Every structure is written in structure tokens, then in C-alpha cells.
Amino acid sequence: MSDMRTLGEFIVEKQHEYPNASGELSSLLSSIRLAAKIVNREINKAGLADITGAFGGENVQGEEQQKLDVYANEKFKAAMAARDQVCGVASEEEDEAVIFDSELSRNAKYVILMDPLDGSSNIDVNVSVGTIFSIYRRVSPIGQPATIDDFLQPGNQQVAAGYIIYGSSTMLVYTTGNGVHGFTYDPSIGAFCLSHESMTIPEDGKIYSINEGNYIRFPLGIKKYIKYCQENVPEEGRPYSSRYIGSLVSDFHRNMLKGGIFLYPSTAAYPSGKLRLLYECNPMAFIIEQAGGKASNGHQRIMDIKPTELHQRVPFFVGSTNMVEKTEAFLAEFPDED
Ligand code: AHG
Ligand code: MN
Ligand code: MN
């Protein structure tokens, strides 16, 4: 239940937990909140306005851009640029990192990485989509333009991460490393209100989420794990339910609330997995760990991977700790032959 605290109030309240906080991170989170409201407004009327469908271009990864991908990217970028709070932005929809070069932004100490619209192919059919963001302290000297090294940091260096889910209601969920908190948007007052304080994911779950259409080319360990999920063992709650929306944010959010695992392994089309380490996996890994869950590439903690390129992809297994560990155990027990 909402206790009437808004996101803005909550951010100010939490700032006192960081004795040396300068307020810059708080103000950055406020800009994200504003961009989320603007994107939410457009998404809500997507069927009315001429904003559904393809934009006519492709992003650097060769994926068709939807009009709302481009719109959300511009709005989040503009919100960051307007207040000189970050020295640069990396986005799934940008080929290269965007370095802000005003005098004020050169003095900013954070960079942000984002997937402005996640699950965008679901927009045209009125299914939930999201935004994912991840914030790091720069490693290059303050006063200079940001460099690529500021963006290629392992996830364990994240200062904050979060997502917005534009669903049956719109929510913003974030962590700064002190638990995970969720806020539901009340459109009648235009505010995100605290609805889910200190979110935790159950250690075990009964939901598995995977695109089984790709089954034939899954690693052997994943095929075995899927069969394990489907086995009839009522005393262990199996078979599990299969739930797959095709928007990572939505699948993740449901599993976090109910307990479950989301899997995107290597496939024929995506030999390294489809999801992007920097824009999708790291922020979700930070959130899930803060909620008591786990995120792995099958063998290694996601947040310990040292990125080598901006748009890098990784296999991704995230959710209830025991389910992720079971998946890792199957991958270890049944390695692929080649
Ligand atoms: P995006 O819309 O940002 O490109 O992300 C889509 C991602 C993710 O949201 C989802 O989990 C996954 O792609 C679905 O992929 P498949 O259609 O291959 O299952
Ligand atoms: Mn995405
Ligand atoms: Mn996207």
C-alpha cells in the first residue's frame, strides 16, 4: 500500500543515508523521473497518436528501431543534458557513447547507460514495455570530457540502477545499493508514490521465462533444465509455470514479485545471447542482488564481467537464487560438446 511518500520525497530522505552526498545523484534520479513521466504519457496514447510502428531505421545492432525507441531515447537524453548532471550517456539506440561537452557537464561526475525502450516490439500490441538505466561514477578526471573507460566498467561499480515499467500501472523501481524500492505512478496527481518499499525476491519460485521457440539450439544444460522445470514432481511444486512476455522488464518484474527465473541463453541467431550487458543485464543484476536474488551468465556473476565493448551481449540467467543456481548446476553437469 502507498504510504503517501512520493519518489521525490523518498530520494531526499535517503540522501541523508550518504553523509558525503552532494545531491547530484538525487537530482539525476529526479531527471529520470521526469523523463519517465513524459515517455509514459506518449506510451499511454500510443494507439491514438501516430507513434506506433517502425521508425524506418536500424540501430547499430541491426535491429529495427520503433518510433517510440527513438522518442524515448531523445527524451531521456534531453533530460540528462538539460541539467548538466552527467558527462555522458550510452544508449542501446546510439552507435557510440554521447559525450556532453559543456563546461558544466565536463564537471559532472556520473555517466548513465540506458535501454530507453525495452520490449519495444510489444508497443503496437499494447503489451507492457520498459526503460532500464544504470549509473556509474566516472573514472576519467573531472573537468575533462568523458571517455569510453567511464562506460566500460564492470557492473559491480554501479552507483544506482533501475527500471520503469509502463504496464497496467506504471512503476519506477530503483536501487542505490541499499535495497530496492518501487513507486507506482498516480496519473491524477502526476507523482510516483512509494508502493513497494524494500522489495525482495523469494529464494525459490515456480515460474520460468524463456523463449522456447529457440529450443533446438539451446545449450544442452538449458535443455535439461527446461525438462526439469516441466517434470511432474508435485511435492516440489513442479511442473513450473512458463510465462514469457518478451519484454525483459515485464518478465523480470513479475518474477521478482512472485519468484521465478528469466533465461536468455545463446541461440542460433544470437550465439552470445541477445541481451546487452551494459544496458540490460548489469542494471537488472544490481537490482536482483539487492532484492536477494542472483544474476549469472551461466558460469560467472554478471556484475563481475569486465566489458570490452558498449553493445556487448551475454547469456543471462536472473531471478530467484535457488533457480539460478540450479541452472548453473545443469550447465556444469551437461557441457556442450563443441
Ligand atoms: P529491446 O526491445 O530493447 O531490443 O529488448 C528486447 C529484448 C528483451 O526485452 C526481451 O526479453 C527479449 O528481447 C525478447 O527477445 P525474443 O523476442 O528473442 O524472445
Ligand atoms: Mn531491451
Ligand atoms: Mn530497447
- Ligand 1: residue whose CA is nearest its atom 7: 119
pLDDT at 66: 76
In whole angstroms, what is the distance from residue 164 CA to residue 107 CA?
A: 28
pLDDT tens-place string over residues 299-319: 999 999 999 999 999 999 999
pLDDT tens-place string over residues 2-49: 578 999 999 988 888 776 777 889 999 999 999 999 999 999 887 776
Atom of ligand 1 nearest to the CA of 213: 19
Which of 134, 214, 248 to mutate to test ligand 1, by most ligand atoms within 8 A of the CB atom? 248
- Residues in Cβ contact with 194 at an 8 Å cutoff, skipping those fewer than 6 apart: 2, 3, 4, 5, 6, 7, 10, 181, 182, 183
pLDDT at 145: 96
Is 3.40.190.80 the CATH classification of the domain at 207-333? yes
Taking a 5 Å cut-off on Cβ, the residues next to ion ligand 3 are: 92, 115, 117-118
pLDDT above 70 covers a percentage of the chain that reads 97
pLDDT at 49: 65
User: What's the CATH code, domain 7-196?
Assistant: 3.30.540.10
- Ligand 1: residue whose CA is nearest its atom 6: 119
Q: Would the pLDDT of 60 be above 80?
A: no
Q: Ligand 1 mean position to 46 CA, how many Å?
A: 19
pLDDT tens-place string over residues 127-145: 999 999 999 999 999 999 9
Confidence of residue 338 (pLDDT cuts 50, 70, 90): low
Least confident of 60-74, 136-150, 166-180, 278-292: 60-74
pLDDT at 58: 79
The ligand whose atoms approach the alpha carbon of 247 most closely is 1
Q: What sign has the CA pseudo-torsion 104, 164, 50, 90?
A: positive
Confidence of residue 51 (pLDDT cuts 50, 70, 90): low
Other beta carbons within 10 Å of 14: 17
Where are the domains positioned within the chain? Answer: 7-196, 207-333
- Ligand 1: residue whose CA is nearest its atom 15: 246
Three-class secondary structure assignment of the chain: CCCCCEHHHHHHHHHCCCCCCCCHHHHHHHHHHHHHHHHHHHHHCCCCCCCCCEEEEECCCCCEEEHHHHHHHHHHHHHHHHCCCEEEEEECCCCCCEECCCHHHHCCCEEEEEEEEECHHHHHHCCCEEEEEEEEECCCCCCCCCCHHHHCCCHHHEEEEEEEEECCCEEEEEECCCCEEEEEEECCCCEEEEEECCCCCCCCCCEEECCHHHHHHCCHHHHHHHHHHHCCEHHHCECCEECCCCCHHHHHHHHHHHCCEEEECCCCCCCCCCCEHHHHHHHHHHHHHHCCCEEECCCCEHHHCCCCCCCCECCEEEECHHHHHHHHHHHHHCCCCC
Direct distance between the N- and C-terminal alpha carbons of the chain, in angstroms, rounded to an integer: 52
Confidence of residue 235 (pLDDT cuts 50, 70, 90): very high
Can you give the length of the chain in residues? 338
Q: Which amino acid is at 268?
A: A
Q: Which amino acid is at 158?
A: Q
Atom of ligand 1 nearest to the CA of 122: 2
Residue 321, C-alpha cell as written in the block: 537464487
Inter-residue contact 313 to 277 (CB < 8 Å): yes
pLDDT at 118: 97
Other beta carbons within 10 Å of 336: 11
pLDDT at 1: 52
Q: Which amino acid is at 96?
A: E
Inter-residue contact 183 to 7 (CB < 8 Å): yes
Average pLDDT value for residue range 224-252: 98
Mean pLDDT for all residues in the chain: 94
| Most confidently modeled range among 8-17, 67-76, 216-225 | 216-225
Of 173 and 59, which is predicted with more confidence?
Answer: 173
pLDDT tens-place string over residues 72-122: 999 999 999 888 889 999 999 999 999 998 999 999 999 999 999 999 888
